[in-house]
A and B are shown apart, each in its own frame.
Chain A
């Protein structure tokens, strides 16, 4: 009995020993593989940048996500708010710019700086990634050109707004040492121009996918950047511009007008319909994704829409985001662009609230809210969702290139009758329902720019460009906009007529000092804290590659 129990015990023990003998090697081998973990939910660098479709996947987000924070509030808050097209006394993403009281802590300023540098660094990441790829060189240059275009534009914005900024071509170097000197305005401009010149050389003639860039997008953008650069000298009141760059601007614009695939849309208001995203006039637009996640959506409608009736949801915060008295005075009485840009009392929009037969604005005549960018609710177009209008954001369209050409053709003269300049500007005027011009002065061109591109985030940059060589004139102009006085108005939508409401008294508003400092924005405070060198003098940038010279041969 006892013996059998012992035997049984031994048997069980033996089994256990056998199990252990089998298990232990398993443990050893199991351990070595266990630690090799491959992600299933994302791609690693080991298997990316292997083909053209990878390049396309890498450049795609450069058209939307990296610009999100810029587009969200700064695009119009700065571009139109600071130029006093927009009056939004309670929206802290607009009024600090209009009132000229922004600081290094102003939210949209901080996020726009970050966003523009996200464009720069993600473009750099793409350039570095493609450069390291084994795909053939011509294909590589095509997509590097796309990334350099984006980086060039970002630097144009940075230069226009902050002047001296840090030029970076590799984020990994900043990771190693983030405390670097900034580079001077002129070098930043040159850096932007070189990027765009590269893009003009290597981007394709036509876009493979609707909405992607062509080399003419780069020429169009160059016409703007050359124009800006032509005014830069040591004397901000020199009164004249560099003819060499005026000529380059003219040539670049001419290239677009004469050889490019772009043409004007017949009807101005159609430019701002979702179904016309990437239309024949659109040369570069941010490509927002219908029903896309936060980050690839266009939020602007939510900040502009007059009320929930339009958006169908609570994201309609535009009641107090209004046309300034100053901009309303700019419109000619027959100009159809007013109704496409601003909603006034009694204006009717068939594309909004379609189920009710369209939307008629109905409030007192004392204000106008934003129309451009306001497209309706999801019931009007299924692409629209809460805080996502699905409308592309124009960064460059043919209309502007006409005006760039005219401004370059005008050059340092008082007026011009250049045929191409007149034909371009008159096409815009006729489309707007206005009479053509026979000669063009700077006043004509800048009026046309302000109205044509109103609420497309442009006018402030026009003023900055002018300030490079006629600074005092622009200071006087901004002073004359009378931003500190809020005039009660009455607006007749049918005739585009604005008048002062004598029954109400004007009120005043605290604004900042208007002098030469308004043309340079403060650096975000957190950047100054982290890099005290930003307060030091800029250091010239060392260009290493040869500048492209054969673009116009």
Chain B
């Protein structure tokens, strides 16, 4: 992506040339010469390489590395300061000899270059839907991984962190959902290296190795006319990431560092010891548990252990980045080194990263340019807390158990039955961490055959080496004793390479501009892993496998290879800068499919009309830019299981040697999932771009959905020894939506500017067809032996809606067991199947469920949709204020109309459970005999207390299970508005440090997740997806909350 700079400077050059000629005609000749000097700077400090021209002459100079310049000019002349990405500034010399200039970044520059697939384009020439996010977004947030930077900053991009633990992944959805069981994550193209955003796990983030501060810009290709050039893998959008390259000029050094504090946003209200004891007594009264003699007088007890307090702490984070860049006329370089260390707010979670990178671009011959870009990283992540689901253990552990003994060792419950482990002890003693090493590099050669014809060959690689370490020590936490020490080591290797060859032709013929690109690409991804296990360690000290007992050893190893071969081309044509046309086509061959289905076409076309360049608008004072865009294209998704097209067998141990068991049902006809999408867009600039609006409406239809057929268990597809359900191209779904970005410059006065930025995204998804007319796709969650369908996807409905029973009330009195139908006939109220009126069955204080099919029993036929995790719309509002050297940025993000399934309330709010519970569990319906001397008959029972929406304590497991079956009781409104970021920066006055050779010092503070306004009762309404599955989105199953972060930082330029 290095031709980026050339294109940029060229366009500037032409523009300036034009200016010069114009100026030459109109300006008067001035003879008195003077020497003007000064410094050029922006809000971050001095800018080297700024072009300074005496207006109407060819006298020119460039600012030095420290931003200073000196130029000889007529004393009555005017100086023009221009630099890529900044608004040009004209200043009359008026006999001054010292002129310090402050250049403003030009965020609305239509000449700005946007990175598109295999090339770049001027924003003004774009015909597709592309959002861009600049590196400023990185400095305005506490982003540890790049996906977090985009949140709330790009229209049409919905990002939710799946987990608040350091280094964990996000669910990124560009324009909704285009696959049900395939991946919905976009691909990331980092300096030409394609990185898949899919991990399928909660913790590992494939982007964790990338240092956000190395990033220059991110361009999100959203519609198919922009993404089709990436063909078979582009269905979920493409995020183009460009890292910083060198700038011509003297060496500049930048040092940036911050320290931060992180805190848990809130604690859930759980029972203290007195409440727990009281409830336990109530349960003993009902014969559910044995009476505990420690709770004879619960009111005399203290609060007991607050397990959340034990596990969550204020955690530190720190970051250091040092970068250098510079270059001569022919060669530029950039180097960087960075370190990030983030502790988790939960004990047993942390992340750190070390980055090293270097970029060199060199015009070695007039016709030959070579370059190399290398980035190394090492990350280390501790996941003991999340892997052990310790958040649930902490909530469930009872307050009568102490965290530690008097001697500091860990304590635990005094029995082993139906108790929770000591989450603090486990978090601190268990080892579960991974180290990953990554190398991402590319090298290219670009040959210019002529001014307009170029050939570029680029080879990119992305190697990764991962190590995972676990050790389960022996311990004795109270009665819980573990003597068996177990250790595992997992090594994984990934080797991805891409080689592409591009031929480009750019030429202007009068009013015709033609841009042609032809390309060929090959890529291969290969992965391997090696796993080893031993137990029988003698101590908790040495934990390598060698220290374990060799006779307990287990191991495994696997590998996979995927390859893609492609040919593609793009034609861009512009007529008079009014009518623009882009056409692309790509032909992909993939190893993931059988030979006959391997190759396919992915075409796209887009038109744009720059209305503002028409004569009738050309001189319009209000509208300075108006462009209409129309695009269409087809993109694919090939995320199918490996070898799904043929039958494969897996090795399974037997006592007679290795056994083989069928692991899939082959589908030789498998092919790409294809998404057709259409886009209509409008770009509008008003009042000299003080108001800029980019709006898009789109329709996407996915056909041949890749679906892991949801088959009943009698097809042999669930549990141990099952065959994986086959993947089919069946069904269709659609997404339609509307999104816009509004950038405004609200105020600009002397030293004060106020800019706003508003992004709005709205998407509706709907399934159009599945494998059968009545086909459904259910997803289940398992907790202990409870397996529950939590979401259902069916034809005509949005994807992954929550599915369950509807509570319509509570049996309050005897007459509730009967109702009069419309004919006035008294009928019994529907009861759950297999249950009758009775204390052990359905009783006063139990929930009444809606009998949807009116058959008089409540069973699975009465389930229905009870919530939709997809928001009605999401938005982000950014406001930037600059004054007196201060920069203040405030970003609000929000989501409206989405539901959250607060899944753990099914247990944490059930007063019959043996664990510790949420305080709300105490609101159970309290029952009493109406006539104390009467029989224990439902006609003689009344509710005398408790929360009007809570059921009684279930007298039997059946009544408890019935009340706490998955129902709309556990679905909550997940709408929220969050003050996502507040950043304040201050540039210290130069006179304080300029004599030390320092060109700028900035201090700043960022605050992240500052405040959240929501009705949601859990930790955090931003839930994301379990295992990045769209079908398990918005389900809070003990999600690690995103911390509140406050940082204090320093940025120094030398």
Contact = CB atoms under 8 A, between A and B. Distances in A.
B720 A107 contact: no
A40 B657 contact: no
Contact of A510 (B486, B558, B646, B957): B957
Contact of B642 (A36, A39, A64, A291): A39
A294 B554 CA distance: 11
Nearest to A111: B719
Interface stretch (A266-274, A336-344, A490-498, A527-535): A527-535
A58 B785 contact: no
B789 A289 contact: no
A27 B714 contact: no
Nearest to B649: A43
Contact of B484 (A23, A90, A313, A526): A313
Most chain A beta-carbon neighbours within 10 Å: one of B520, B714, B959:
B714
A103 B956 CA distance: 14
A532 to B, nearest CB: 8
A295 B722 CA distance: 11
B957 A64 contact: no
A34 B524 CA distance: 8
A118 B520 contact: no
A469 interface: no
B551 A69 contact: no
A184 interface: no
B512 interface: no
A530 B648 contact: no
A291 B716 contact: no
B561 A107 contact: no
A54 interface: yes
Contacts, number: 319
A104 interface: yes
B552 A510 contact: no
**Which of B554, B647, B660, B959 lies at the interface centre, i.e. has the most chain A CB atoms within 10 A of its CB?**
B660
B656 interface: yes
Given A16-B368, A104-B860, A121-B715, A291 B554 contact: yes
Interface residues of A, number: 116
B652 A34 contact: no
A210 to B, nearest CB: 8
Interface string B652-694: 1111111111110110000000000000000000000000000
Given A308-B416, A510-B958, A105 B788 contact: yes
A295 B416 contact: no
A122 B481 contact: no
B837 interface: no
Contact of B447 (A16, A54, A64, A103): A16
A136 interface: no
Contacts of B598: 35
Contacts of A320: 417-418
Contacts of A30: 522
A114 B718 contact: yes
A435 interface: no
Interface stretch (B704-712, B731-739, B881-889): B704-712
Classify chain B: how many residues form its interface, as a range.
35 or more
Which of B598, B716, B860: most chain A CB closer than 10 A? Answer: B716
A275 interface: no
Interface in A319-348: 319-320
Given A56-B656, A172-B665, A118 B591 contact: no
Interface in A498-534: 507-513, 522, 524-531
Contacts of A111: 718-719, 785, 787
A171 B720 contact: no
Contacts of A122: 661-662, 716, 721, 723
A527 B787 CA distance: 13
B27 interface: no
A455 interface: no
A61 B659 contact: yes
Nearest to B476: A308
Contacts of B863: 529
Interface of B: 287, 365-368, 415-418, 447, 455, 457, 480-484, 486, 499, 501, 520, 522, 524, 535-536, 551-552, 554, 556-565, 589-591, 598, 642-643, 646-663, 665-666, 709-716, 718-723, 725-726, 772, 774, 776, 778, 780, 782, 784-789, 833-834, 836, 839-841, 859-860, 863, 914, 955-959, 961, 965
Query: 5 closest A-B pairs (Cβ-Cβ)?
Result: A107-B785, A121-B716, A510-B956, A510-B840, A60-B659
Given A287-B654, A319-B415, 19 more contacts: A9-B365, A12-B365, A31-B520, A39-B560, A39-B643, A46-B646, A48-B649, A60-B659, A67-B721, A103-B834, A108-B785, A114-B719, A122-B662, A289-B653, A385-B535, A507-B287, A513-B834, A513-B836, A530-B778
21 contacts: A16-B368, A37-B563, A40-B559, A42-B648, A42-B651, A48-B660, A54-B660, A57-B659, A58-B661, A90-B417, A101-B957, A105-B786, A107-B785, A107-B786, A125-B662, A171-B665, A178-B711, A308-B481, A510-B957, A524-B713, A526-B787
Interface of A: 9, 12-13, 16, 20, 23, 27, 30-32, 34-37, 39-46, 48, 54, 56-61, 63-69, 73, 90, 92-93, 95-96, 99, 101, 103-108, 110-111, 113-115, 117-122, 124-125, 129, 165-166, 168, 171-172, 174-175, 177-179, 209, 211-212, 287, 289, 291-296, 307-308, 312-314, 316-317, 319-320, 377-378, 382, 385-386, 507-513, 522, 524-531
